[in-house]
Structure 1
Amino acid sequence: MYSLVFKLFLVLSLFQICVSGRKLAEEEEGNQFQLLKYHKGALLSGKISVNIIWYGKFKPSQRAIISDFITSLSSHSKSTPLNQPSVATWWKTTEKYYKLAGADKNPSSSSLSLTLGKHILDENCSLGKSLTDREIRKLASKGDQHDAVNVVLTSADVAVQGFGMSRCGTHGYAPGLGKRGTKFAYIWVGNSETQCPGQCAWPFHAPVYGPQSPVLVAPNNDVGIDGMVINLASLLAGTATNPFGNGYYQGPQTAPLEAASACPGVYGKGAYPGYAGNLLVDTTTGGSFNAYGANGRKFLLPALYDPTKSACSTMV
């Protein structure tokens, strides 16, 4: 299981690691993938459905924000202004990992296409409102276990082991049903609005520790859900490029730096610890964002590590 640790707690040290990694990559000619090492394992590939298990009560408007984000990954919305950054172009950075892994030589594993799958509602919290990792896996198993990533989203009143203390979400894998040796990938992200927004909803909430800067307005006017989008985006990138613990990562296998977590706290150009970077601002709502999505949505997404440039890639 690979947790999305608090960016704010580690941003100073991890930012330095990212910078140091880029310098090393530039100095070592011919090795453009210095920061994240490929461990020769499978990447997530093919046509994959993203199934969402909604645990606890979510408003229809909140479910729509998350659904639109997932839908935006695979298509450039007609409502997106020309030559403007989109969720789909943000996601294309992950394709570079596949090419470096040599997956393009195998047509069956050369690409990944994500589509919004099933919605499973558990509004009455069948397992209670205090969950362990084992129970998260149990909830994740309710989704399809073939050609799927099952995403468990917990509402603001649900406590999860380690949430608000050491992580904002996590991704992992579990044994699947049917043929022996099968496994499926899953993700968990919690709504931090009332429990730990200072750890998991920055830059839409003041951080508990570290440099203090003006709080940004959430692009969809929902601090908890917009924070979940950031964490879900980061974990989806980690799941695609390191689904079973032997793909692209750096550091210990149990707490790896991955495609997004290798660029902590970076959202736009000029970012530094405590400052998310230069972002777009909605002139009507004042919301800060860096990507357009489906149905006129605007999202703030984390920078992804670009293996071909040995640098954190931002769209704005």
Structure 2
Amino acid sequence: MTGNINLSILFYGQFTAEQNNVIQSFLRSLENTENDHVAAVHRWWDVIESYQLFTGLTPTTRTPPMLTLTYFKSLVKKADLGKPNTLFVFFIGSQVTVHQLCRGKCYDHDLIDNKPYLVVENPKILCHGACGWPFQRLDYGTPNQVMVKPLNGNMGIDAMIIHFASGLAADESILYYIFYHIFNIIW
């Protein structure tokens, strides 16, 4: 499988420089480099070869208390720079709520105007007991749950990385978009 998938990244809400660097470091590890002979995260998803960072909103932009699908539609329109084969990825800060997240799912994905998007929320404050595992004890399950220390020392950001990777790997709408629209394969 060959081709480029562009990631249009939007950091929505407050992120520290360290949190931003962790996410960007993970994204860079997805890039396919010809001289890289070391096993890296990009080997999981060789089709992703580039991403773009979208920073169209300023820190003074007023944040609604709860983001909904309607709001994401407007963000996709603002972030769409006309690049083909683009997946819109929204990383949401811990102080912002996304409607329907933390209720059985820790990321959301679908198509908006035939354009795939993926939303990942930081679970540190609002839903650490639902989406912080394996770094935080779940609200349900056995009392003997084994916790893992976050690799980067930040449960929320490390959980976001897990949910972002899960969203890329499990997203049927993104896979449909990639195979049907980019490679013209019907399944």
Q: TM-score range by the shorter chain?
A: 0.7 to 0.9
Note closer, same or farther for the CA distance 1:166–1:51 as it changes in structure 2 (3 Å cut). same
Q: CA deviation at 1:147?
A: 2.2
Q: Is the 8 A contact 2:116 2:177 kept in 1?
A: no
Whose helix proportion is higher, 1 or 2? 2
Q: How far apart in 2 are the matches of 1:214 and 1:77?
A: 39
> Is 1:86 aligned to 2:40, yes or no?
yes
- Which of the residues 94, 109, 114 maps onto 2:49? 114
Match of 1:150 in 2: 88
Please tell me whether Structure 1 or Structure 2 has the larger radius of gyration of its CA atoms: 1
2:106 corresponds to which letter in structure 1? C
Q: Deviations over 1:44-81 (max 9, x none)?
A: 9721221111111111111111111111112369899x
Do the aligned partners of 1:201 and 1:224 also contact (CA within 8 Å) in 2? yes
Maintained 8 Å contact 1:49/1:114: yes
- Note the C-alpha offset of 1:238: 3.1
CA offset digits 1:152-192 (Å, max 9, x no partner)? 111101011112223211111111xxxxxxx3211111011
Q: Distance in 2 between matches of 1:237 and 1:230?
A: 11
Aligned CA distance change for structure 1 residues 77 and 66 (closer, same or farther; 3 Å) = farther
2:170 to 227, 238, 241: 238
Higher RCO, 1 or 2 (CA under 8 Å, sep at least 6)? 1
Q: Secondary structure at the match of 2:101?
A: coil
Task: State whether residues 50 and 114 of structure 1, in contact with CA within 8 Å, keep that contact through their aligned partners in structure 2.
Answer: no
The 2-side partners of 1:192 and 1:122 are apart by 23
Of 77, 80, 86, the match for 1:141: 77
Q: What's the TM-score once normalised by structure 2's chain length?
A: 0.80
> Where does residue 57 of structure 1 map in the other structure?
14
Q: Structure 2 unaligned segments of length 5 or more: list them.
A: 180-187
Q: Counterpart of 2:158?
A: 226
The AA in structure 2 aligned to 1:159 is: T
SS at match of 1:232: helix
Question: d(CA) in 2 for partners of 1:115 and 1:91?
Answer: 11
Aligned to 1:75: 32
Identity of aligned residues (%): 26
> 1:56, 1:122 within 8 Å by CA — same for their partners in 2?
no
User: Residue 64 of structure 2 aligns with which residue?
Assistant: 128
The one-character-per-residue Cα deviations of 1:3-24 (angstroms, maximum 9, x if unpaired) are xxxxxxxxxxxxxxxxxxxxxx
Aligned length: 175
Could you list the per-position Cα deviations for residues 209-257 of structure 1 after superposition, in whole angstroms to 9, with x for gaps in the alignment? Answer: 1133231110111110000000001111234x64276889xxxxxxxxx
Q: 1:242-290, CA deviations, whole angstroms, 9 ceiling, x for partnerless residues?
A: 4276889xxxxxxxxxxxxxxxxxxxxxxxxxxxxxxxxxxxxxxxxxx
1:206 alignment counterpart: 137
Task: Give unmatched runs, 5+ long, in structure 1.
Answer: 1-43, 93-111, 176-182, 249-316
State how far apart, in whole Å, the 1-side matches of 2:122 and 2:23 are. 12
Q: Is the 8 A contact 1:54 1:153 kept in 2?
A: yes
Q: Does 1:162 align with 2:100?
A: yes
